[in-house]
Amino acid sequence: MFSGQAVSLNALENDLVELILDLKNESVNKLNTLTLSELDQAVSLLESSDVKGLLIISAKPAFVVGADITEFQGMFSLSTADLHQRISETHALFSRLEALPFPTVAAINGMALGGGFELALSTDFRVLASDARVGLPEVTLGICPGWGGTVRLSRLIDAAAATQWMLTGKPQKAKAALELGAVDRVVEVSDLRTEGVSLLQSAVKGETDYLAKRQSKQQVLENGAELKAMAVQMTKKLDPNYPAPHKILELVSNHVTLPFAEALVSEVDAFVALAKSDAAKSLVGLFMNDQLLKKKARGWIKQATPVKKGAVLGAGIMGGGVAYQSASTGTPILMKDIRDEALKLGINTATGLLNKQIEKGRLDEAGKQKVLGSIQPTLEYIDFHDVDIVVEAVVENPTVKASVLAEVEKSVPENAVLTSNTSTISIDQLAKSVSRPDQFCGMHFFNPVHVMPLVEVIRGSQTSDETIARTVAYAAAMGKTPIVVNDGPGFLVNRILFPYFNAFNRLLVDGVDFERIDRVMEGFGWPMGPAYLADVVGIDTMVHADHVMQEGFPGRMGHDADVVAEALLDAQHLGQKNGKGFYSYGKDENGRRFKKASAVAQDLIDIRIKTKVELTDQDIIDRLMIPMCLETVRCLDDGIVETPAEADMGLILGLGFPRFRGGALRYIDTLGLDEFTRRAEAHQVNGPLYELTEGFKARLAEGRTYY
């Protein structure tokens, strides 16, 4: 009947037709422009045919994973009117499918997400494989469902439940989908097509009322006031920086009492408004950046010799975390230390993390023992003869690290890769301690290892591609996101972080209250302000890294006043690790944890204030963000990182940069390079951290952006 590059129609017995989704040259089905065009042609043929029933099914392991997000940036850049028309056209297509003069069934395998689930919602019945998932994850991209999903799902199942599905964006299991009525049957995947045809035949014979099912998705609901009250309460708990959840609540609570056609129009209006928001541009951009990182990692992995056995030197917080992460993701690992009590601590750390997995129902006792059995604590190098990669994670001291690296190199195979989990020390400097510098690189994990997704893979001047490939492959096998960066003080993430801390110190000596600074920056979108972040990092760690950055970039990262963090360190205020930093930490009489401003910290700041400066909240934001953004620009200009996407993803994954802002370079683009220039020039009195780079000036003059 019809055969395209993504959609085909095949005639079945008894005047039934099968619409097969099979996007050529792709591993998954996506509702891209091609697929939607062919679907339109197929529906046109069906509208003028003598067909009695339609089954929609996928020839791939998943039904449809959603719209083609790679098309979003171009689509969202259309004018408001053109975008409205574009979305309305797909709405009209799905409504035509829904209005076919015969019953329709979607047989869903794998995943039906976003537009894929909206397509399935346009059919009369849905049969779901028992291991399949359905959902509307658009909120994670800063938008709402835009092809009828908010309307059809809220009328098909409980509107409050539908709203929760959309607010979380999480794929729903088959059991939940069936219980709520989002699907009609759940069957084993091997029976999916058979059951789909059976249900279709039942509807054709009149044994199942498909028109009643169709009408159930178009009914006007009567609990609008109740939903609006719920929306008001839920809105109070939402982050104002992310407009999509707010819009979804408002949209559903308003359109459930509207006629079906009007409700669909209101959804288009909401989608277009969100698609034009800065948050959507940033979040879609992050998705594209993530795809780039995965593509680059796959390229390295193809070149890599797989890691069958690893080793970590040091059983402290970082070493124990690396051992746990490696073993829990399937790569056995040796954990060496010079003290037996340290090894016990490392095993206890891993045991505690595994126990939490058991408590959450994600692991059983057998699984726990398997992971622990994959961690071999040792005081000797005797079993290092067959390791493929070593992660050195001893104290952050170049002399100690150099000694340990030289020592372990004698005990590993000649083709083994050595890495250092240093956060600041030059890889080229450490490479002088090994005889095979081409097989050495940095592998910088972030704390806590089991939580933080980023690993910086640092290439020294002599590091080979084979070494980078194996290290990237190992990081990926551990479930981490590796970003390859070049050597330099602070590498990528810490180099960008410390101008921010430097600017923070300047605000303190200008008399700006650190609690206010934290509130302002948390309002900007950071998970914590700079004072609290310093306490979490550790004041001693912060001071050490700051010295490295001052030595590496003395003209820019030196301080123009006393450093408050150094005074805190002298006063034995280490941050959270000893309960004293910018804040004091402890438990009250009821056992509840508290955090309050430290009087000692305030006294140390007060005696260092030169002249109190009156600043607006925006001044505080600019004073902190401009140095961070410009250092990101410098990292790109200096070749520390290859692309804007990698620079921004390093900040998102390593520092918790506000996702809705997309990273430092995306933030510059959102402001506009001319506006960023105006702000930077207004603050250049505060020193070289605020000076525009030549690369930035050239980009500004040429009218280019970073994306």
* Number of alpha carbons in the 13 Å side-chain half-sphere of residue 677: 14
DSSP 597-641: E-HHHHHHHHTT--S-----HHHHHHHHHHHHHHHHHHHHHTTSS
The CA dihedral of 582, 583, 586, 589, to the nearest 10 degrees, is 150
Q: What residues have CB less than 8 Å from 152, skipping those under 6 apart?
A: 118, 121, 122, 217
Q: Which of 91, 255, 444, 450 is flagged as catalytic?
A: 444
DSSP secondary structure, 465-500, as one string = HHHHHHHHHHHHHTT-EEEEEE-STTTTHHHHHHHH
Cα–Cα distance, 4 to 23 (Å, whole number): 9
Can you tell me the distance from the alpha carbon of 596 to that of 528, in angstroms, rounded to the nearest whole number? 14
Spatial distance between the Cα atoms of 600 and 578, rounded to a whole number of angstroms: 14
C-alpha to C-alpha distance for 31 and 96, rounded to whole angstroms? 17
Residue type, 391: V
Chain-centroid distance of CA 475 in Å reads 16
How many C-beta atoms lie closer than 10 Å to residue 612's C-beta? 10
Prior bond of 240 cis (ω within 30°): no
How far is residue 276's CA from residue 386's CA, in Å, rounded to a whole number?
Answer: 55
Give the chain's length: 707
Integer Cα distance of 416 and 403 in angstroms: 18
Angle between helices 617-637 and 664-671 (to 10 degrees): 120
Interacting residues of 151 by C-beta distance below 8 A, sequence separation 6+: 217, 255, 260, 263, 264, 267
Helix ranges restricted to H, 304-397? 317-328, 340-359, 365-373
On whether the CB atoms of residues 22 and 59 are closer than 8 A, the answer is yes
Q: Would you call 91 a catalytic residue per the annotation? A: no
Coil, strand or helix at 67: strand
Q: How far apart are alpha carbons 525 and 657 in whole angstroms?
A: 8
Considering only CA atoms, which of 185, 133, 186, 135 is closest in space to residue 162?
135
Helix (H) or strand (E) holding 54: strand 53-58
Q: Could you give the C-alpha distances from 423 to 487, 541, 602, 698, in angstroms and in order?
A: 11, 10, 29, 32
Q: At what angle do helices 664-671 and 644-655 cross, to 10 degrees?
A: 110
What tokens appear for 700 in the block? 């500004």
Determine contact, residues 396/426, Cβ cutoff 8 Å.
Answer: no
Helices (H) and strands (E) counted in the chain, each on its own, are: 31, 20
Residues known to be catalytic: 444
